[in-house]
Structure 1
């Protein structure tokens, strides 16, 4: 699986990148048919405390999977986004197994 992490309007973070890669590899271990992951980390310029956004798009057989989450830190946003993607992958796996 290819993982591409992009930091939008913010500096790169090696520690955050390693956390994301570790979580995505764990997800790939469960669902080995994932081809590619595009990760976008954005810092929204608002007064709200939940201004850190994580968007992940997965390439897999069928339509692309996409999830996004806002939180007060990137670790929480990444965890929520991956949890949503895992839910979508489970639904897709069930669709595959019925055909």
Structure 2
């Protein structure tokens, strides 16, 4: 699966990029036919405590899955988005079998 990570309004360090890539690659355990994913890491309102936004769009070939989460840290947001996407991937894989 091709993973593209976009950091908006800041430069992400390599540790964050590696962490994000590792978490998104784990989706392949549930469906090995995933084509690509676009990950957007954003810092929104700097004065707000929950200002780290992570949005992920996954192209399955069958449909597009999307999840976003806003948290205090990017790592926490990536973890939560991954959990959401795992559920969506499982549901999507089940739908593909029925078609």
Query: Which bin holds the TM-score, normalised by the shorter protein?
Result: over 0.9
Structure 1 portions without partners, runs of 5+? none
Higher relative contact order (Cα pairs below 8 Å, separated by 6+ residues): 2
Question: Number of aligned pairs?
Answer: 99
1:40 equivalent in structure 2: 40
SS in 1 for 2:69: strand
1:14 equivalent in structure 2: 14
Distance apart, 1:46 and its partner CA: 4.6
Contact 2:27-2:89 within 8 A present in 1 as well: no
Moved over 3 A (4+): none
Distance apart, 1:47 and its partner CA: 3.0
2:88 equivalent in structure 1: 88
TM-score of the superposed pair, with normalisation by structure 2: 0.92
C-alpha RMSD of the superposition: 1.2
Distance apart, 1:26 and its partner CA: 1.5
2:79 is the counterpart of 1:76: no
TM-score of the superposed pair, with normalisation by structure 1: 0.92
2:51 equivalent in structure 1: 51
